[in-house]
Amino acid sequence: MKKRFSICFLLCFFIIFSVFADFGYKLDLLSLDPIYSEYLANRGRAGLSISYLSFSEGFPDKIIQDTFFNKDNTVQKVVVFPFDADIEPKNRMVNLQTGETFGLVRNTFTFDSWLSPISFDFSMQGVLSFFFRGSFDDNIGYDGMYFYGLTCKIGDFISFRFGNHHYCSHYGDAILKQVQNNTFGQNGNNFWLTYKYVRMQTRLFSISIEPCSWLRIYGEVDYPPRGIYSIRPDMFAPNWIMRDGLYINPEYPDSYNARIVATGIELTFSLFKNLGKTAIGYDLRFYEEGKVKYDHENGGEITFDEDAPWEMEHNIKIAQGLSRTVSVEIAYHNGRSPFNNNFDQHTQYIAIGLRFNPDDTVTLFDI
């Protein structure tokens, strides 16, 4: 027994010794080069970019809102507010994204093993996505999105993130000017100024695998936890969500939980030696909210269709790095409106944009 123990001990010792033969440790206070990289083709990607969108379907021409829960004890229904006039120029939009992923207090361990390096940090991701008229003056609206949680990466091969995610959407002046005739600012079934698509906060689990330097695949699930602060529109709330002591949608099945599942693939090459990398990405999103049915043209009753598929969204993006920081990007989108308050509108557009991607790091300690 003693002999076996000695052999095991020696084996462990050699393994540990071998692993720590080339040991290194680094502490970064702040890094803009995330452990868990943003998804290239995701429309809500946290980045600094300006894009010009050309719509072939779903340019905003109305607002829909569902009625307040329990208001006047009436049945939950959808109200449609057509705009007084078209937003001009029609089918054009400018999208400005101000966002970044910050890695805070990053610990990186290097050692002599295929598992090296191992990194983990506290990650914050914030993005404000602004949508302007094509003439780049008035604002159609803006979405605030953020994530905070833990990220880790093993062997430059596999990375994870786990934390809380937030969506919130706000009308801008371009829309508010167009609904003034809809008794703007009054109560009742009339236009509600602060109505918004909000998920505050959902839980997020993500995994990303990079089997080689040019390939990445990822998967992500986003769901509301039982203690969620707010999820709106009310019609999208699962049956366990209560307000004023009453369930909002008691008739919805237990299986429904307003989940969002995303997956995608990214390929990166150095096609042009004098420029940066060429990347192509495909992002696919599924919204369980697709099972909630309503007439988004005329409004009216809301129903739940258990057999309906989840709503799908496709994004394809091609990016060409021009330098260390700047890239030009072309995107095709087919799915939800890029502006979350127009969640009801199926949208198709092509976008061309410039992205600025600083990836600096403030290192405190490196041995």
Partner 1 sequence: MKKKVLIGLVMFLIVITELFADFGYQFDMISLHPLHKEYFADRVRPDISLNYLNYFEGSPDKILQDSYVSSGEQEVKVWKFSGDFSSKDSMIEIKLGETIGIARNTFTFNHWLSPLSIDFSIQAELQSFYTGDFNDSYGYDGIYFYGVSFRVADFVSMRVGNHHYCTHYGDAIYKKASGIIPTVENWMGYKYIRMNDYVVGLSIEPNSWLRVYVEYNFPPKDISTLRPNMFAPNWLKRLKGQSVDPGYPDSYNARIISTGIEVAYPVFKTLGNTTIGYDLHLYEEGKIQYDHENGGSVSFDKNAPWEMEHNIKISQNLSKTVSIELTYHNGRSPYNNFFFQHTEYFSISFRFNPDDTVTIFNYKVK
Residues that bind partner 1 (CB under 8 A): 29-30, 32, 48, 96, 98, 100, 128, 130, 136-139, 142, 144, 168, 170-173, 176-177, 180, 183-185, 193-194, 322-326, 356, 358, 360-362
Q: Taking the complex as a whole, how short is the minimal distance between the CB of residue 30 and partner 1, in angstroms?
A: 6
- Comparison of 243 and 324: residue with beta carbon closer to partner 1: 324
- Comparison of 244 and 360: residue with beta carbon closer to partner 1: 360
Q: Taking the complex as a whole, how short is the minimal distance between the CB of residue 367 and partner 1, in angstroms?
A: 16
> Is there a contact between 76 and 66 (Cβ–Cβ < 8 Å)?
yes
Which CA distances in Å does 335 have to 43, 157, 267, 315? 10, 31, 22, 8
Q: Taking the complex as a whole, how short is the minimal distance between the CB of residue 131 and partner 1, in angstroms?
A: 12
- Comparison of 121 and 283: residue with beta carbon closer to partner 1: 121
- Comparison of 77 and 277: residue with beta carbon closer to partner 1: 277
- Comparison of 60 and 238: residue with beta carbon closer to partner 1: 60
In 141-161, which positions are buried (b, 16+ CB within 10 angstroms) versus exposed (e)? bbbbbbbbbebbbeeeeebbb
- Comparison of 98 and 239: residue with beta carbon closer to partner 1: 98
- Comparison of 162 and 184: residue with beta carbon closer to partner 1: 184
In angstroms, rounded to a whole number, what is the distance separating the alpha carbons of residues 290 and 200? 19
Which CA distances in Å does 137 have to 24, 92, 99, 141? 52, 12, 21, 12
Q: Taking the complex as a whole, how short is the minimal distance between the CB of residue 269 and partner 1, in angstroms?
A: 19
- Comparison of 182 and 257: residue with beta carbon closer to partner 1: 182
- Comparison of 256 and 343: residue with beta carbon closer to partner 1: 343
In angstroms, rounded to a whole number, what is the distance separating the alpha carbons of residues 141 and 129? 9
> Is there a contact between 286 and 312 (Cβ–Cβ < 8 Å)?
yes
60 Cβ neighbours under 8 A, 6+ residues apart = 83, 87, 140, 175, 337, 339, 342, 345
Which CA distances in Å does 201 have to 20, 64, 146, 303? 41, 23, 9, 25
Provide the pairing of β-strand 242-243 with 48-57.
unpaired
Look-up: residue for tokens 């295929």? 114
Which has the closest alpha carbon to 280: 323, 351, 331?
A: 331
Phi then psi for residue 98, to 5 deg, are: -115, 105
Q: Taking the complex as a whole, how short is the minimal distance between the CB of residue 101 and partner 1, in angstroms?
A: 12
Q: Taking the complex as a whole, how short is the minimal distance between the CB of residue 356 and partner 1, in angstroms?
A: 6
Q: Taking the complex as a whole, how short is the minimal distance between the CB of residue 126 and partner 1, in angstroms?
A: 8
Look-up: residue for tokens 């308050």? 341
Q: Taking the complex as a whole, how short is the minimal distance between the CB of residue 132 and partner 1, in angstroms?
A: 9
Q: Taking the complex as a whole, how short is the minimal distance between the CB of residue 323 and partner 1, in angstroms?
A: 4
Strand partners, 242: 247
Which has the closest alpha carbon to 267: 319, 339, 227?
A: 319
